[in-house]
Structure 1
């Protein structure tokens, strides 16, 4: 979801300590992000100031973009650049099917008030699964509205969510769902709130 804005400096520190992702990993991520946003290769190329051929090569794993290119992709897709880093390659039998606890991609920072882990094995598919941890007092002040269907389950803590102008206070074991409606959230408690969040189609 990442609605609080990402910390560019924190992103830079994190990726400096990560190994560069492989061309194959980047290819799948970039292709999935583009398709989820309904963008064509030509539109991506125009916005990046690159050729359609180059974008196509990146999506096929034939060309590996530089860090500057990855930052441009991240800005274009409105995701943190760290999304492209920090995930380990699963073995062949588990690739695209299983995510081990120690191999989740982490997004966001404690300073931003929202840290999320991608539970889905990749960015493809018709939905994505996230583990979202909201710090005490964290809040999305402006309502978000996007053409998605979303659902969540509160694992622990207290979590307030406003859907189409109505606030709902949720606690451990409660769940919610909405589709194409403006929403915002806050953590009113003194402890982190942990929510498993499903988004369709994916936004990361």
Structure 2
């Protein structure tokens, strides 16, 4: 009988499989990186085995995601699981290092895309150019965001949207108020 851990998502295995595949890793490659067997990893991905916290740290490092991404959201009523994510139950993702606070709006990572709520703090920026094998669409709800996409510069205002197709990009919020945006990213990268 499997012991249920209230701190892990019921979709942890599916999320891990999606993240692994989005990075082009085989079961064998990830198992090797973790120093584990393919059988163990397969059981984790099928939610037949529960990884320890140290295993989750190693998985997060191997997949380049914060460990918080591997913990489930707050418990939801059974009828809402996999369908609804309440405001207080969003999973934090990414890193606050550059002044960016992100939360997963999607119930899990099992779709062909993920939806993210992003808050770009005032006077923050990512200094390094980012290139991901994704298609991304963003919509600014409030504040302003300066974007460089494929060598072009844009200031995005509330109500504006933008698209990034695997192009080099970076962002900056040199303004005095936070910028709040919604991003849809395919395939999921967090």
Same fold (TM over 0.5): yes
**C-alpha separation between the residues in 2 aligned to 1:180 and 1:134?**
21
- Residue 36 (structure 1) aligns with: 22
Give the one of 112, 118, 125 matched to 2:104: 118
Determine if contact 1:58/1:65 at 8 Å carries over to the other structure.
yes
Determine if contact 2:101/2:118 at 8 Å carries over to the other structure.
yes
1:132 matched to 2:115 = no
- Residue 51 (structure 1) aligns with: 37
1:141 matched to 2:124 = no
Relative to structure 1, the CA distance from residue 84 to residue 174 in structure 2 (aligned partners, 3 Å threshold; closer, same or farther) is same
Q: CA deviation at 1:35?
A: 2.0
> Which structure features the higher share of helix residues?
1
Relative to structure 1, the CA distance from residue 42 to residue 24 in structure 2 (aligned partners, 3 Å threshold; closer, same or farther) is same
**Pairwise mapping of residues 66-145 of structure 1 onto structure 2 (< 5 A)?**
66-85=52-71, 87-108=73-94, 112-145=98-131
1:193 matched to 2:179 = yes
Determine if contact 1:21/1:84 at 8 Å carries over to the other structure.
no
Relative to structure 1, the CA distance from residue 120 to residue 138 in structure 2 (aligned partners, 3 Å threshold; closer, same or farther) is same
Aligned residues: 186
Structure 2 unpaired stretches of 5+: none
Q: TM-score, normalised by structure 2?
A: 0.91
1:64 matched to 2:36 = no
Relative to structure 1, the CA distance from residue 84 to residue 120 in structure 2 (aligned partners, 3 Å threshold; closer, same or farther) is same
Q: CA deviation at 1:155?
A: 0.5
Equivalent position SS for 2:92: strand
